[in-house]
Structure 1
């Protein structure tokens, strides 16, 4: 560490960004596309295109649950919103339920309240969960690792601001074809363009799991963690059945009353404890997209005259603040225009991490005794950069391609799509290990670009919702998805062509012909 503050911050910025940069790139990339996770799921399940209003969906879901799980301890119904077409239902089997009834305890229903005939897929949910749960890692350890990476990102942002004396002036400089200077300019521009967003999204990401990272207050005041959550949300376990049968009241009037109680905000979730019993309670929760705060209001109805038994408690300043911060991070409240802004700013964050990783190798290549034979640490970083920066987009593209090419009735089909995701990612990494960096950058970028450009054609050949048909019928979700795939493929192909035209990807990392003049102030990593 240098005694000079800005030199010390430069050192901190460099190493915080590098050591967890590959994980941060994957987190930023998958988190960014997850702002359209519902649209991704819809594209990956093209069989359904009919929308149902929430009241009708709730009525159909209750009729379905009466048939398949009449003796369940509880029912949970996630109603379709403006971005969803299906109703998701879950149920908790009764204590005495046979083992076979405990295997399949969820379903997705169409507008008629019948099981939707959809291809098996995790859709956008996989990318969303990977963003903070990773995959194949115990969830608790994955979230600790993601939290460490987010903390490192926050440190890198703060130290980067301190390091760059002329950070806003640098924003207006983007000099192409200048080697290290160009990469530093690209890093500065992508960082400053949405700096408040990057700081907000990183800090609020930590807040979403604050009770995991800082459980000490809960441990000091509650004997069990469950007691804390019961105090915040109300008792989670339903009371026992009375043994007296009683039918549920019509659900549509309750939904209307709850919505009116909340000033017109829609209901998003219906949960019913002890259905079919006199002790049953019906809990309605406000839809997540209806406000910034994610902790929605609730109202509980009993069966006697469908009278309200209670409602959510007023939140204190701490819980209200956390609810808003989590809502800002997830962006579920955002309309289409604001969601695109989230997406584009997320891309700048992804680019910021990616250009920072490349800049590390660019800056150090000129210091190597023999750039053609770098030491192992430099060699490894250069390959991991390709594996992350190209590997993640390739993995997402392969995930979409597998959705269209795998047989519809394939056993464990959803897992097959996920396997395609990781196989493509691993393939890019292996290719980067066996090829020279220059060739690996060009070849992997070019192949990934072709993959994305091919996806709209594969979609048109395997479904009735290709780009021409979608444009003709005004289906802007499918048309927009295909056009976005084309734009992504073109950007990747242009990147490959540019590197090829410049001779070697080493142009991403060769020293300039003349050493740059020493600078008094640190302006980069």
Structure 2
């Protein structure tokens, strides 16, 4: 009797089976959010270049102007347009950014009103530029970790929750997959679902160290918001909190005005002194508090070039005399650790080759998330009693997959089309570019709900391909920066943008063709016509419960 019970009792679930379920559901529940975060974060490695493309009125910059001269010109202009402000902050041009940006604190701002003014300046003249109002690549960067149409606080909390789910999915996937490294070198071409599982494994293992790093460091960058209690207990007085702020950034706060008016000392001379320490083109920002007052202070911050830390380094000057008061060239161990994590996440320390490496591995991570999402439906469709009439939850996942993956490409391309087509004089033009992004994305969801799944995948891939392929042509018709002129001028920002649009258009064509041709394998023991499966072109499944053949 005991032997019978032993023979018929179910086998206990092992750690790999448990981790497999955790991996699948952790990846699915917030997978649509993660896919958007990954893709917009990927393109954000070139956000400065996207912002240049988004403002074609600004001339091509063949060399970086002297930051000292630019800072002086912009400071003089701010003295005219922002007189009475207690704080100016000037972002200087770099090899990747052909403008100087500034913002200033508005005096006597009332509750509910804007607290800061901002403008973009021509580095050659110091005057405000006449260019279209756009957020450019900054929109994708901000969406990546705080989304839109919601308070920033809650957007960042959602991003942190999604990152935590991603971390759980990565760790559980490694535990589940016992042949993770050997399968990296295995690819069975044209073997149906097995082929896409091999692709998923290769994408996962190829970027595994990067995926772990980018997920963990993303959490660390906002750790003070997620876990504020330790900081509140350790830094209780205003002086202690001010010291913490100085450890984490170079954005100095205005002090108490003296009431004695004096002329601001030469900003050019202060920047020159910083250049003697850090190099001519390695000055990022100049912050001026209480300009025109005897208590004025000027902070000249070091750039990120060749630094694997985002910890602030700056020189603090007396704004009325130009005398160097303090040198902040190091921070404490905790702040330095946070600075290194931040730098690893953003990747701004690297050269062009490093940014491309970040871009490609992050793109592989985007594909990893997308393949896992769609294979959830691929694996389960074959087990449905009637694949043509799946249950409600299956249909929800399938439609969200279409809109989140293929639809996001359409939305991002629509944002770029809006940049070229919206009238420059349109009120709140930058906001309308963003509205177009979300309207297009909502339309793709409605399309996915109304059309058969397979046709929706194919049609949205083709629409994404058409929009991307048409962007260089639209740019040619609406600006004076066509591809051939950009190549002749050596303007690789515009030329590279056009070429990458065509490259991604070709990739979307490939997806559309594979989606149209793919057939779902007939389950064993069933005589049925092959079912066309939506989305298998993209997809490799989540790591299977038993990945062995």
TM range (shorter): over 0.9
In the alignment, which of 511, 514, 517 is matched to residue 495 of structure 1? Answer: 511
Q: Who is 1:470 aligned against?
A: 486
Q: CA RMSD in A?
A: 2.4
Q: Who is 1:516 aligned against?
A: none
**Using the alignment, how far apart are the partners of 1:107 and 1:382 within structure 2?**
44
Output aligned runs, 1:332-343, within 5 Å: 332-343=348-359
In the alignment, which of 119, 127, 138 is matched to residue 107 of structure 1? Answer: 119
CA-CA distance at 1:288 after TM superposition: 2.9
21-30 vs 158-167, which moves further = 158-167
In the alignment, which of 150, 159, 163 is matched to residue 137 of structure 1? Answer: 150
Say which SS state the counterpart of residue 390 (structure 1) adopts.
Answer: helix
Note if 1:450 corresponds to 2:466: yes
**Using the alignment, how far apart are the partners of 2:69 and 2:113 within structure 1?**
27
Segments of 5+ residues of structure 2 without an aligned counterpart are 1-10, 521-530, 537-542
36-45 vs 83-92, which moves further = 83-92
CA-CA distance at 1:428 after TM superposition: 1.2
CA-CA distance at 1:283 after TM superposition: 0.9
Q: Does the C-alpha gap of structure 1 residues 225 and 466 become closer, same or farther in structure 2, counting only changes over 3 Å?
A: farther
**Using the alignment, how far apart are the partners of 2:214 and 2:377 within structure 1?**
27
In the alignment, which of 152, 156, 179 is matched to residue 166 of structure 1? Answer: 179
Say which SS state the counterpart of residue 28 (structure 1) adopts.
Answer: helix
106-115 vs 21-30, which moves further = 106-115
Contact 2:458 / 2:516 at 8 angstroms: preserved in 1? yes
Q: Does the C-alpha gap of structure 1 residues 509 and 418 become closer, same or farther in structure 2, counting only changes over 3 Å?
A: closer
Output aligned runs, 1:347-426, within 5 Å: 347-426=363-442
Note if 1:507 corresponds to 2:507: no
Q: Does the C-alpha gap of structure 1 residues 55 and 394 become closer, same or farther in structure 2, counting only changes over 3 Å?
A: same
Aligned length: 515
Q: Who is 2:98 aligned against?
A: 85
Note if 1:218 corresponds to 2:228: no
Contact 1:300 / 1:310 at 8 angstroms: preserved in 2? yes
CA-CA distance at 1:227 after TM superposition: 4.5
Q: Who is 2:198 aligned against?
A: 185
Segments of 5+ residues of structure 1 without an aligned counterpart are 511-518
Q: Does the C-alpha gap of structure 1 residues 341 and 222 become closer, same or farther in structure 2, counting only changes over 3 Å?
A: same
Contact 1:230 / 1:236 at 8 angstroms: preserved in 2? no
Contact 1:363 / 1:509 at 8 angstroms: preserved in 2? no
In the alignment, which of 195, 208, 211 is matched to residue 221 of structure 2? Answer: 208
Contact 1:201 / 1:329 at 8 angstroms: preserved in 2? yes
**1:152-200 alpha-carbon deviations (Å, 9 max, x no partner):** 1011111111111111121122334333212211211111111111111
Q: Who is 1:254 aligned against?
A: 270
Note if 1:72 corresponds to 2:85: yes
Contact 1:265 / 1:286 at 8 angstroms: preserved in 2? no
Say which SS state the counterpart of residue 105 (structure 1) adopts.
Answer: strand
Per the normalisation by structure 2, the TM-score is: 0.89
Note if 1:39 corresponds to 2:49: yes
**Using the alignment, how far apart are the partners of 1:313 and 1:55 within structure 2?**
20
Say which SS state the counterpart of residue 168 (structure 1) adopts.
Answer: coil
Contact 1:179 / 1:507 at 8 angstroms: preserved in 2? no
Per the normalisation by structure 1, the TM-score is: 0.93
Q: Who is 2:137 aligned against?
A: 124
Q: Does the C-alpha gap of structure 1 residues 63 and 182 become closer, same or farther in structure 2, counting only changes over 3 Å?
A: same
**Using the alignment, how far apart are the partners of 2:475 and 2:439 within structure 1?**
21
336-345 vs 496-505, which moves further = 496-505
Say which SS state the counterpart of residue 292 (structure 1) adopts.
Answer: coil
CA-CA distance at 1:299 after TM superposition: 1.2
In the alignment, which of 21, 34, 38 is matched to residue 24 of structure 1? Answer: 34
423-432 vs 250-259, which moves further = 250-259
**Using the alignment, how far apart are the partners of 1:14 and 1:520 within structure 2?**
9
Say which SS state the counterpart of residue 84 (structure 1) adopts.
Answer: coil
**Using the alignment, how far apart are the partners of 1:225 and 1:495 within structure 2?**
57
Q: Who is 1:14 aligned against?
A: 24
16-25 vs 360-369, which moves further = 360-369
In the alignment, which of 246, 268, 279 is matched to residue 295 of structure 2? Answer: 279
